[in-house]
Structure 1
């Protein structure tokens, strides 16, 4: 409070004083008295008594804040109960002390006779504080209805905090499943595995009960029946498609690389929305460190580790003959016309997600001559402004998909051959 009194010297018309009484557990902020016009009998008249009082209850430790406006010998002022605090720590929390000092200054201006800086808002504020003081006194007559100011978050903040905790609790299984590389149903099956249902005996097994069987043969027959039932209930898993090829941006390089980069675009487009296994190598030595020519059919742009292949699909008119110049192999040449877009197509390979599984690996400009894309990647198709983009991101894999990708990778490495153009 003393700091508030010192600060008030800069923008208040008179000095403020602080009085501390430890025996009565009271701190007061006082405004000085000053003379006003004489009484009718000619005697001098003063106004004073403007005080902000903070007093602590010696029993429960509660704090009461009261404001005494200016009073004269003819007009006495009643105290305005500003608020009741639960403890001294609550007084200095959430700027309550600044608010009560501000209201004290407004009450001083509104109740002073000589203060010419009083505004209408000061008088309205003082009337409102007087009305609220009566309400606080009525509620204070009953212990359970006393409104104590405590330093705690507002209801809105508590609701937001509760929603945050609830959201974190609900998303915890999803986070655990993501880190383990499985879905939530898969996580549930791991935590609570269902026992196999007992097999019903078949007619043939019932018929053989009468015949004598050795003890060693019975477990073998039961095990074979269980394996047969489990295999009958197992569902075949979808096989991960494989996209392979050795391509080049450089027609003059020769070698076994494929000049028809639209083969790569064709295969990516055919597997959009899926997770495919890539085994692709692209020669880039002639376009590396060169400015892209957006008028050309094929362009390569590298930004922050991500690589974009821009391709202008030609508008085919005469069918298979002309389409054979751009795509090869057993691909459907009629699809080439559907691949056309006014602003071209792009394949964007994002390197930052390779740590999501143990197989995916994108190596741009290896030894300054090749881009190597290997492993499973999710293909996401999007279109904007007559342009089609295929984003390739390494996905999180479930246990079955991860095992399948590892087997494809092992078979590819064992072949020890570069992928050949189709």
Structure 2
């Protein structure tokens, strides 16, 4: 007997028929003798609708009331799924974040989990009941409902799995696992049976959208084994010793590492160049300090010194942050004393990720050579221990992904 947390995203519970299907899947898991807890997202589109209502009433709405509104989407799903399970003869009860309680800090709209008191849930599970928990939410130190930010239900599920000392956290989505790249771009992409926390964290941070970054960070920290699988696949017993999705696990659980685990891409990139900045101590802080104060996330950074003694600074940020970035830098022009501000939103970031890079040379060179052979110009380069990222023209995104996928031998067959 195992203890399993099953998490279902918005597309998995989009309507009553899908909620019934999810209930049937949970019943099958319970029938194996496992202790099961469930975490659910709001039905597809509901959170966006609730956010829209808040913004329509007041663009500068009270964040505490915002959380009170948007948390209701998950509460509705939890109650409906509990009813569906009861109709199938499965003892179930819905739980809101404050009832567990799942305690957070008071950063409304982007709260971080501080503790999960799971003793009551454990007792209920041992008695044969299935707790159905509303994801994405908790309770702050002031007793008010908080939310964890978009995609926070994944984080709720991993946190609950850690608190329950679960054997696994199964995250059901609209894909059947983690692929070497987006199969919509590369039909020959293959599904990974296992991937390390570090690889998944890097892939999530550079554009792969299967798992939310914070949930992977928490899983790595708490050593929660996470499985990604499809809620739309036919119900069937897995092969002996083999799970149907992709397991995200510690590096020690993977016997032989591939050099490259996957290719990720992000079209949500904008390039900013601050030209002719005086080359003096503290100039980088003068540029990036105000951006940090404005909560602008900066990614790839390149600095080059010109013959006249000035320096150019190029970095990337998300397209949604570009207008704010321009406003901040124009406001700080008198302090920075730069000559010109250039921006380009027609760019994409392509990343090659794999823990095998630690022990194999030439991974970056393969990337650069492959792109050069396709006449794809590299604008910015960024590296980490297990990742190489480049910035290229947006129009070359799919060509670059296909070429690199083949160059690293990741194609099926």
Q: Give the TM-score normalised by the residue count of structure 2.
A: 0.18
Q: Which has the higher contact order (CA 8 A, sep 6+)?
A: 2
Point out the structure with max Rg over C-alpha. 1
